[in-house]
Amino acid sequence: MVQPFHLAIPVKDLELCRSFYRDLLQCKEGRSSDHWVDFDFFGHQLVIHQKEDYQPQRISNPVDGHDVPVPHFGVVLTWEDWTKLAERLQRKRVDFVIAPTIRFQGKVGEQATMFFNDPEGNALEFKAFKDMSQLFAK
């Protein structure tokens, strides 16, 4: 079993982001205070911390023909779960930075991927591999 990671990120509007992670991404809410909220982020611990003067960075790096936002975070899902999430986000009309696509098609590391931002501009990537042995392939 892989141990869960812990990630804490800044947000300006705690309630807006709480709704995004809880309602749109369907992450179960854990402990919270007036200034932070824990979430079960696909088996990992994500904490949003209110920081009123937070300004996200807007930089990117070219990867396989797309401008990938950095920094970003997310999880590797099963192919089936990735497909279901992509379809649900498309039905909800999420504004994708990189719409659901197949990256490195026919090459080592072929993967399904999508990028979008939370309400504060924190970039998220969700990906999946049909062949999980490709996750760390060279």
Q: What pLDDT was estimated at residue 15?
A: 97
* pLDDT at residue 117, as a whole number: 96
Residue 64 DSSP label: T
Q: Which residues contact 96 (CB under 8 A, 6 or more apart)?
A: 89, 114, 115, 116
pLDDT, position 55: 87
pLDDT of residue 58: 85
CB 2 within 8 A of CB 110: no
The residue extents of the domains of the chain are 6-50, 60-134
Superfamily of domain 6-50: 2,3-Dihydroxybiphenyl 1,2-Dioxygenase, domain 1 (3.10.180.10)
| pLDDT recorded at residue 18 | 98
pLDDT digits (tens, 9 = 90+) for 8-21: 999 999 999 999 99
How far is residue 115 CA from its own chain's centroid?
Answer: 7
Q: 60-134 domain in CATH 3.40.50.720?
A: no
Domains 6-50 and 60-134 share a fold: yes
Question: What residues of the chain score a pLDDT lower than 70?
Answer: none
